[in-house]
Amino acid sequence: MIGFGYDVHKLAPGESLILGGITLESRLGTVAHSDGDVLLHAIMDALLGALSLGDIGLHFPDTKDEWRGADSIAMLKQVMRLVSAEGAHVVNIDSTVVLEAPRLRPHIESMRERIADAIGLDVKRVSIKATTSERLGFVGREEGVAAYAVVQVEYD
């Protein structure tokens, strides 16, 4: 099965920027109820989508204090417990982060390793790409960061 996920968070000064489980040096960070890790949120939605298990809003409601400032790696591990409970496993992940600054290239390998470790997957099966929005739209104006992910999931 294939799953797809998309997420956006607003950017503002004085907030931290966490992507793929890695805290980045950045002038702007995400405004969010959780840690605002758009990449992990898109991946989690893709995992849930592949198995028709709803979305992260259903599993981690932002009205609940339990998930305030939540570590998205812990949330991802919880989603993986749902995937395992369905008798399924992840084959591969492909993703794209859309962000004007900072450049993500130097951090991609660390992010891949962090995600692969949380999922229990070979790092070769975790792809992360980065692009800018060519100064266009809300990402281009540095008002937000977006991420897209697709995953393939198979029954054991």
In the complex, the residues that contact Mg ion under the rule CB under 5 A are: 7, 41
Spatial distance between the Cα atoms of 47 and 56, rounded to a whole number of angstroms: 10
Shortest spacing between CB 38 and Mg ion, in angstroms: 6
Q: Choose between 126 and 144: whose C-beta lies nearer to Mg ion.
A: 144
Shortest spacing between CB 72 and Mg ion, in angstroms: 8
Q: Choose between 28 and 88: whose C-beta lies nearer to Mg ion.
A: 28
Shortest spacing between CB 121 and Mg ion, in angstroms: 21
Residue found by looking up tokens 């592949």 in the block: 50
Residue found by looking up tokens 């570590």 in the block: 71
* Residue closest to Mg ion when measured from CB atoms: 41
Q: Choose between 146 and 153: whose C-beta lies nearer to Mg ion.
A: 146
Shortest spacing between CB 51 and Mg ion, in angstroms: 19
Q: Choose between 41 and 112: whose C-beta lies nearer to Mg ion.
A: 41
Shortest spacing between CB 79 and Mg ion, in angstroms: 13
Q: Choose between 38 and 80: whose C-beta lies nearer to Mg ion.
A: 38
